[in-house]
Amino acid sequence: MTGEQPARISVRVQPNAKRTELVGFDDGVLHLKIAAPPVKGKANAALLAFLSDILGVSKSRLSIAKGATSRSKVIVIDGMSQEEVLLSLRP
């Protein structure tokens, strides 16, 4: 075990959008639009699936640490450094 802390990113989500897309990265907060509705965890599942594709990691390495029922969330990415995550999110 390396002892490295998992990366954490703050996310602001707009559910029920026309399509799922990355809007931008502003003041340390990742802004995303998610096509899924915020019902029965569908938007959260779509968010984690979308982020796993962008970051190139499996969904099992992502979790919502804070804000499961809020538009503002903190996502934990196990097995990646903060720097690796930020580089992956750049356009």
Give the pair of three-digit tokens for residue 4: 């490295």
Would 1 be classed as within a structural domain?
A: no
More confident residue, 3 or 58: 58
Report the predicted TM-score, pTM, of the whole model to 2 decimal places. 0.92
What is d(CA 72, CA 91) in angstroms, rounded to the nearest whole number?
22
The full DSSP string for 20-65 is: -EEEEEETTEEEEE-SS-SSTTHHHHHHHHHHHHHHTS-GGGEEEE
Q: What is the pLDDT of residues 29-72, one digit of tens each?
A: 999 999 999 999 999 999 999 999 999 999 999 999 999 999 99
Would 20 be classed as within a structural domain?
A: yes
- Domain count within the chain: 1
Domain that holds residue 71: 7-89
For position 91, what pLDDT does the model report? 65
User: How much is the average pLDDT of 68-90?
Assistant: 93
CATH of the domain at 22: 3.30.1200.10
